[in-house]
Structures are given as C-alpha cells and as structure tokens.
Structure 1
Amino acid sequence: MPVTDKNGPDSGRIVRVAAKGDGITADGRHVAYSAPGDVLNTDGGLTRGPHYRDPPCRHFQECGGCTLQHLDEESYAEFVTGRVKYALEGQGIVADEIFPPRISARKSRIRASLRATRIGAVLKLGFSGSGSHRIVDLQQCEILRPELFAVLQPLREWLQPLARRKHDLNLELTLVDQGVDLLIRNFEPETLQQRESLADFARENALARLSVDGGIGPETQWEPEPATITLGGVPVSFPHGGFLQPTLDGREMLVSIADEVVSESRLVADLFAGLGTFALGLSEGRKIYAAEGSRDAIAALKVVANTSKREIFTEHRDLYRRPLSVEELNRFDAVILDPPRAGARDQIDQLAKSDVKRICYISCNPASFARDAKTLCNAGYALEKVWPAGQFLWSTHVELVSQFSKSG
C-alpha cells in the first residue's frame, strides 16, 4: 500500500525526476528507476503510475547508456526542460522564454565509444555498466544507428583472438559520409598477419576507415577514400576521433536555431568552432571568424574555407588560455560559442564586458551554462530564449541552445 505518514497520504508519490535520474517523492526521498506518478509502498516497492513505460531494451538497468527508458515521452520531455530550468533557477536566472524540448529519435546516434575485453574465453563488447567499470555485452541497442550496431557482432568475433585480458580496448565508432569509421585504442598489431586481418575485416564489413592507436597516436590501416563528414553541404575531412554532434537531426536543429539567432548579423565569431558545424552551416551572406583549439579540426575547416565561396577566416587558438579580448570581440555583431562541458568562464568574462549585441550559446552542460549565463546577465545581457535538446535519448545528458541580447 502507499506510504502514509505525517506529511500526508501522497508523501510517497514520485513528483519529478532529479538531475541524476532518480525519482523524487513529495517528501524528498530518491527512488531509482521510478517515474512521475509512481507511488513508493511501505514495503519499498513501487506502484507504477501513468508515466511509467516498459523499457524497450533488454539491457536496461544493467547498461550505463540509458537510465531513463522507463519514462514516457511526456515525462522525459519534462525532465529535459527541468534540467535546464532548475540549473538557471539555481543561479537566480529566469529565461524570458523556454521552448518545448527537441528530442532525437530512437536509433539515431551516429557516434559511440565502447569498450571490449576478454574474460576467460569470452569477449565482451559494449558500454560500461551503470555505475561500474563492468562491460555490458551489447546484444541490443535502441539508440545507435543500425549501421553502427551491425558492426558489433563481426567486430566481437574478429577481436576474440586478439584482445588481451590485461588491456581493455577502447572503440570509437562514427558514421561518416562513406560509412562506419572505426578507431581501436589500446591496440597495436604485433604481426604481419594481424595487420592483414585488419584490412580484411575492414573490407569484408565495408568500413569507411579502420585505424588503431597503440598509445602514440592513431594509425590508419584501411581507408579506400578519404573519410569526410558533410557540414552545410560541404564535405570536410574527418580527423581521427573528431567531435561531431551525436545525431544528424540534432545537429540540423542546433544549426537552424543558431542561424535564426544571428540572422541580422553581418560579422559573426564562431568560437570553439570544431570542424565548422556552425561556420559552414549558417546561411551565406555574412563573414565568419572561426576559432578552435584542436589543430586537426581547424586544419580541416581551413582547407574547406580556402576552397569554398564562403567568407570564413580560421584561427588555431586555445580559447581557454587565450580567449578573445574585449577589443577583438567588439568587431563582431554576434558571437556563437559551443564550448566543452566545462563551459567557457574566461571567454564569457570577456564577452560580458564587450559590446556584442547578440550571443548564441550552445551548451552540453546546463550547470556550467547557468554559471556563465549569470555572468552575462549581471553585465547587462538578457537571456531571451532557450531551446532544450535531448540528443542523448533516455540519458540524463541534456543540451541546449540560447539567445542573449544586449541593448544600447
């Protein structure tokens, strides 16, 4: 029966989902794998409510990839929005408008990092287990693109005689224009036969590229034609381990919103530009300065910028050690920035002192975003719009796009 105590008969009812994925009861208790509307019983069990759904994957609760598969679409969307809203409220900020979240579809993830190890005669290949380093041997996945998942069983069979128990292998799979790009870290072929087997495996499974990294950097073993990723209609050379948005629809959504935010700006700075997701994706008719700390990424973007009709100036620049100064920023009508999870504290400090009229801040961490947003708002910027995004379906990982403006 439902919990009843001095706080009332509904004190055991799950009212929302916390940032780490646990449900929270009306009286503040955390309950793993519960959904809003569930009721915590006196025996510790749960009476399921209207927002619980049967998880579609056999590895649920075992695999660390998806922790919220038990939520229906409505409550998961509320979780995504809540992560952003509560982070902002924690800094005393209320956005003028928060739009409904954009949630990516099932089986749409175009990149994944997996682990493989041999335990006795068995090779396990998959994500790390929930809250542990144990590998869950993936036999089903509801988030990966089918092209990526199709490689796992052949890869499991091929790695069986090669994997060594004392070294876990780290596998990075990315769907590029030519197919699946596979990078195997913590592995180096020891014999000519092993090197030949790499090429045979890549050929038999139609891989776009196969590379290995024994600790001194990636070494390409198979690449029948240069691996590229198309951004803004332009093929860009894809470096080993390069960063991409996790889904194609999510990337298009982020670029579309950023284009809308800076639509009236002629001179735009794209900071933490990566391979040029935004610099190349924005509509033409403006001049863009793109800065990025990864040498491989900015080199790939520079080649495209030099050969395209777009007006893009690139610079290899570590924006953590050398953020754009106020004087440099004041040249631009708008700034787009998409920093790593840590945010961009030093660059934001300079932006807060600048005269830039419009800022489009893309973030993969609501907490660091809220911290940076407070700095901007304290300096006179208004947080006008926020678009939450759930590209990492069923996980607690939430992204967003935002629009800041300064008048005067």
Structure 2
Amino acid sequence: MSDAAEIVRVAARGEGVTADGRHVPFAAPGDRLHGDGAIERGPHHQLPPCRHFPECGGCQLQHLDEAAWSGFIVDRIAGALAAQGLSTDIRPPALSPPRTRRRARLHAEASGRIGFAMEKSHAIIDLAECHVLAPELFALVAPLRRLIHVLRPKRRLDVHLTLADQGVDLLINGIMPEGLAAAEAVTAFAQSQSLARMAFDEGFGPEVRWEPDAVTVTLGGVAVPMPPASFLQATREGEAALVAAMREAVGDAAVVADLFAGLGTFALALPGRVYAAEAGREAIMALKVGAARAQRTVFTEHRDLFRRPLTPAELDRFGAIVIDPPRAGAKEQAQALAAARVPRIAYISCNPSSFARDVKTMVEGGWRLDWLQPVGQFRWSTHVELAASLSRGPSR
C-alpha cells in the first residue's frame, strides 16, 4: 500500500495541504506527497508558464490549473464566512485571463533592475517576461531600465503603471529629475513611448512632466479625469464582473448610495440617481467633473466614512446601497447598515476576512446574505475579490 498522502486543498498563502494537515509548498489538489517528501503531480498541477516563478512575488499560484485556482478562491471565501458562522450560495469565480492587468506597482533601483519584489523579500526580480501584466505595461520595462540608468537614483524607486484611455500613465516615486539633461531624457522617453502622462513624486505630491492631452479613464461610459496612480479595478474583465454583480444586487432601485466610490466605477454604472461618498479628495472631484460633463445625476460628497459613516437615517433615504471599502473593511459603516432599513446592499470586497466580519454584524441586525460572486482578477495570486448581495424581507 502506498504511503503517499493526497493534497486536498490549497491554504490561504498558496501551499498545498494534506488531509492530515501537512502544508506542502507549490503542491496542487490531487498531487500526492510521498514519505520521502517527493511530490507526485496530479491532474490539477500545471507547468508554471513564467521563468520567474516561484521567486517573483507577483504570483503565488502558477502551478494551479483553472479548476484548482477557482477552487482556491471559493475555499478562501467559504473559510472566511465559516469563521464568522456564515454561509451562502457561492457562484463560480469570474477569472481574468493572463496578461490583462492594467495597473501595477513595480520597484526599480539604480542598477536598472525593475520588477516585482521577490517573494518574502525586498529583493527585486528583474523582469524578463510577465504573464500577468497587460502588454502595454510590460513593453515599458526595458525602456525604463535605460531611463533609470540615465537618472541615476540614489534610492529604490516605486514605479506605478496604469492603462488609461490615452495610453499608459506612469508615476515614479522616489526621485525628482533635476537639470536640463534629465528633463530632456524624460521628455524623449515619454514621447518615444507614447505615454499618456509621466509624473514624479519625491514625497510632496506628483509633479507632471508630460501630459499632451488630459488623461481620463472611461467608467460606465463616462470619461473621468484620472489623477496619477489612481485606483482602478485590476482588469477590465474583473471590473465588468463586479459591476454586473452589483447591478443584479441593487435591482431596480431608483436612488442608490455608492460608499467608498473612488472615481465612480459603480456610481457611473447605475442608471438612476446616485449619491457617491469618498474620502479621497482628488478621486471624488474627478468623479464630480466626469459626471457633470456627461450630465449624469450623481451627487458627490467628500466624506471620510471611517470617521463619519452614514447614519441609519441617512441610509434609509436610498433604495439600495453599494459599498466597496478598502482591505480593512468598513466596521463603523457596517454597524450603521445593521440598523438601517434600506432593502438591498451590494457589498464589494477585496478581503474575504474583513467582508465576513462586516457581514456578520449586518446579519445580526437582520440582514440576509443572498449570494456571492467571487472574482479572480489578480491572476495566479492569493488575492481574492468578491461582490455579494444582502437583503431584508422575503427571499428574492
């Protein structure tokens, strides 16, 4: 009889787990762990496509096939819900294809090395290929090496790449080029690479050095002004899946509140009247301008929802609530939602644990978790996103 133990699931950090609880790095469900530590690959163990795996911290799960990655996403969410005594219908995950990431933060140093940080290290993987970045972003890696060599930074840089309507928006943190030669090099680089914008930030806010046309991002059919390094959903496919789930959750509500609205990913995808609240001043002003130009009925408020969440009385003015908080969740706002009588909530989250904590508070206040749509837009990553529907009253 074989002494091999089967890998039955993948843990939160990406390692395979046997039925008796042993954790095995880079093992997939269906693999078999032999007594000598050797792994016999099973049907869900694929050949990682990238030469930088597993050293590169950009991916943790390239050894999983689509079915195993989907299973990992569902297990992460189900585990977070179970930890709070919750359960619901979890739909099949919507997975973004390879090479579709439209925003990323890379690291660079004076030697010219540029890429993601090594897994569990500050060392930089010098990217020779990347199977997650959109081609437009990866195409800048080699030219950036040459530019950084010219600029000769004295410290490590953060390089923010975002795909806007006009092309790539590039923000480099940690340096402010000085002198005629540096200015000419920056202009030549931006022009030759057809950048939408190029800005630098040495700690006092971005200074734009190249922007031939005002940079925008189209959300809900509206061209919204885009501040440098703005937050966007990581892929267009992921954004579409989250928006579709959000619209299903809010139903035909004529007046909706969008909390933590950002640039308006969800506010501008709603057909009726929308109140949008956001703590980031630049983001909410951009949404206000974009909505006004498109003559959309969006009322914006610059409001810190951690310090000043909407009260139950304010929430009850709406037919539905959309909430998309940062990774920490929205503990204070969830407490107010628990006491509110608004009939529907669409909760979008990038952290199953804080989501489950918040939803438990709402369920204890009489809400029901109807269904949940997982979204995998950080390809081969342990990062999980979701959209969920909550309601009061009879089951829908």
Normalising by the smaller structure, the TM-score range is over 0.9
Matches within 5 A, 1:25-174: 25-95=18-88, 97-118=89-110, 122-164=111-153, 166-174=154-162
Residue aligning to 1:369? 355
Offset, 1:222: 0.3
Find the aligned partners of 2:306 and 2:250 in 1 and give their Cα distance.
24
Matches within 5 A, 1:221-370: 221-282=209-270, 284=271, 286-370=272-356
Find the aligned partners of 1:14 and 1:340 in 2 and give their Cα distance.
33
What is the aligned residue count?
394
Residue aligning to 2:16? 23
Offset, 1:263: 2.1
Offset, 1:190: 2.2
Offset, 1:26: 1.3
Find the aligned partners of 1:61 and 1:311 in 2 and give their Cα distance.
48
- Which one-letter code corresponds to 1:258 in the other structure? M
Offset, 1:349: 0.3
Q: Secondary structure at the match of 2:267?
A: coil
Find the aligned partners of 1:190 and 1:303 in 2 and give their Cα distance.
33
Give the TM-score normalised by the residue count of structure 1.
Answer: 0.95
Q: Is the contact between residue 324 and residue 350 of structure 1 (CA under 8 Å) also seen in structure 2? A: yes
Find the aligned partners of 2:211 and 2:296 in 1 and give their Cα distance.
29
Offset, 1:163: 3.2
Find the aligned partners of 2:294 and 2:109 in 1 and give their Cα distance.
44
Q: Secondary structure at the match of 2:100?
A: coil
Q: Secondary structure at the match of 1:210?
A: strand
1:181 aligns with 2:179: no
1:266-285 per-residue CA deviation (whole Å, 9 max, x = no partner) reads: 11000000000011112x2x
Find the aligned partners of 1:134 and 1:179 in 2 and give their Cα distance.
29
Offset, 1:49: 1.1
Find the aligned partners of 1:305 and 1:51 in 2 and give their Cα distance.
46
Offset, 1:25: 0.9
Q: Secondary structure at the match of 1:108?
A: coil
Q: Is the contact between residue 68 and residue 394 of structure 1 (CA under 8 Å) also seen in structure 2? A: yes
Find the aligned partners of 1:289 and 1:155 in 2 and give their Cα distance.
41
Give the TM-score normalised by the residue count of structure 2.
Answer: 0.98
Offset, 1:117: 0.9
Q: Which runs of 5+ in 1 are unaligned?
A: 5-9
Q: How large is the Cα RMSD of the aligned pairs?
A: 1.2
Offset, 1:113: 0.1
Residue aligning to 1:396? 382
Instruction: Give percent identity, aligned residues only.
Output: 53
Q: Is the contact between residue 163 and residue 169 of structure 1 (CA under 8 Å) also seen in structure 2? A: no
Q: Secondary structure at the match of 2:76?
A: helix
- Which one-letter code corresponds to 1:27 in the other structure? D
Q: Secondary structure at the match of 1:123?
A: coil
Find the aligned partners of 1:19 and 1:163 in 2 and give their Cα distance.
39
